[in-house]
Structure 1
């Protein structure tokens, strides 16, 4: 969508939602009012978690604002000068830091922010589908489990199952952190075995 229209991906999601709304209303227009209200888009919207959807739309909008203002590029510059992202150890460190940040901030905005921080330049660690992006997907997804608030799923489970933040912090966070670092070690070993 972005390649063709040059619009942000969330605009494509909203367009898809609008198209689904029209198609669903056309499919159910001759049915009873009860069926239309149950299977129509309004009935579905009543059952979805609208605050979560608005949360993600807001986060993506905020990340796009930071990218447009140049803040993400500045952050990438700071990481490049202080840590160095031209070497593999530097990439491991930057990805690991971003992964640990996903325990505090949801992984979706962090990955979106990282996409705004680094250009996908061929021949570098940041080339499309290259090392950094695969590693970032792992660290951001796994690092969110260190704290229960690190992912939307964790927040949802916290509300549904009444899991207190302190209980998770005492009993699960350390194990999740060990798993996070063990996963990074396995990732590094696999990369070393495959690419030398």
Structure 2
């Protein structure tokens, strides 16, 4: 009976998360509480065994770091200076905005990055009388591609990195960044071909753009230098954590607490905590509770067994199946709950004789991150961009976005298939 309860609670919760009619954090937490009330697991098991507090703490720490740094106006200054540097020229502006978004998404996280850059791009395109749609598409694509390159760039990567101890921050860069860079170049060509007629010279007054005082956005106080220094130290800690034998979560928490202490006189901690995305954090906690219910009743084991049976335990088939399933499904549903459900499934593969799971982890990470480009609900960053655009009366039509998103995802998955096969699966087949 427990297995039926756990499955029904998970599926109903997933349905409401997909429809987005009720706050997704509330839905996930409600599902977790129902699992507690039905006795699927105890409160102690939930808190100790199922909720991944490392992931929650890492996300919280990065939100604190970015919240304080954003108060200095650094990110707005960079975006305005970019627009002025290209003198409002449409194609260079598109390329520059894409580069900034991709780098920001790799080093910060993609939701934070789009929150910073979208308002600036909307203002610049309005000033130059350029259509906002191509730039918003470029920002969405770039955020998901850039986020796929590092452990902290996209929530699915954070979850995978915390679940697999030997996949370090440096590992993600070594294995995923080369492909992300290639896909980014392909994206620029793709968008240039599609939008070159639409992005002719803007009709707006470039002089108005050039008159904006970017320096006015930059608050040159001790907080600026402290924020940049601590952010760089934290990123360095991520790169070196395997050599220093310090966990990623410890590095992130240390950076967040240090910056809070250094900037305490300039900004109250209460102001910083107000900017933390609490809904996202509680959504993660609820998801861990839901997936924990599936683990408790043995459904995760059965899912793993079914996948291995369908691919006959073949590494190539399994990895490519995970890539395409995660890629296609992430365009329909938010990639975070999908990855949360798949992580324990892939862990179970070890019990079926599959010892080297790294190619499968990379396939899951890439499929989930890249598949998010298919629709406006495929990734959290997409939803944020769509909401901000609608608020600025530049609504992104769902079907119009799909006309660009779906073909680009298919192209991305084909390139990724070749990459995974040639780099990981072909050498394994030869052994």
Q: 1:103·1:150 contact (CA, 8 Å) conserved in 2?
A: yes
Aligned residue in 2 for 1:171? 404
Offset of residue 15 of structure 1: 6.2
Equivalent residue in structure 2 for 1:106, among 334, 337, 340 = 334
Offset of residue 14 of structure 1: 5.3
Offset of residue 6 of structure 1: 6.1
Aligned residue in 2 for 1:86? 314
1:94-129 superposed Cα distances (whole Å, 9 cap, x missing partner): 33213322222333332332221133639954535x
Q: 2:316·2:425 contact (CA, 8 Å) conserved in 1?
A: no
Q: 2:322·2:360 contact (CA, 8 Å) conserved in 1?
A: no
Aligned residue in 2 for 1:183? 416
Q: 1:83·1:94 contact (CA, 8 Å) conserved in 2?
A: no
1:15-45 superposed Cα distances (whole Å, 9 cap, x missing partner): 676988xx68x948x95xxx5xx430x3223
d(CA) in 1 for partners of 2:350, 2:425: 22
d(CA) in 2 for partners of 1:91, 1:108: 19
Structure 2 gaps, min length 5: 1-46, 62-252, 391-395
Q: 2:374·2:406 contact (CA, 8 Å) conserved in 1?
A: yes
d(CA) in 2 for partners of 1:176, 1:14: 29
Number of aligned residue pairs: give it: 183
TM-score, normalised with respect to structure 1: 0.72
Q: Structure 1 149/90 Cα, relative in aligned 2: closer, same or farther at 3 Å?
A: same
Structure 1 gaps, min length 5: none
Aligned residue in 2 for 1:12? 54
Helix, strand or coil: the match of 2:350? Answer: coil
d(CA) in 1 for partners of 2:425, 2:299: 34
What is the root-mean-square deviation of aligned Cα atoms in Å?
Answer: 3.5
- By relative contact order (CA 8 Å, sep 6+), the higher-ranking structure is 2
Equivalent residue in structure 2 for 1:50, among 278, 284, 302 = 278
d(CA) in 1 for partners of 2:302, 2:351: 21
Aligned residue in 1 for 2:302? 74
Aligned residue in 1 for 2:361? 133
d(CA) in 2 for partners of 1:111, 1:74: 17
Offset of residue 72 of structure 1: 2.1
d(CA) in 2 for partners of 1:115, 1:13: 13
Does 1:39 find its partner at 2:39? no
Q: 1:85·1:91 contact (CA, 8 Å) conserved in 2?
A: no
d(CA) in 2 for partners of 1:136, 1:161: 30
d(CA) in 1 for partners of 2:369, 2:411: 15
Q: Structure 1 43/126 Cα, relative in aligned 2: closer, same or farther at 3 Å?
A: farther
Greater radius of gyration (CA)? 2
TM-score, normalised with respect to structure 2: 0.36
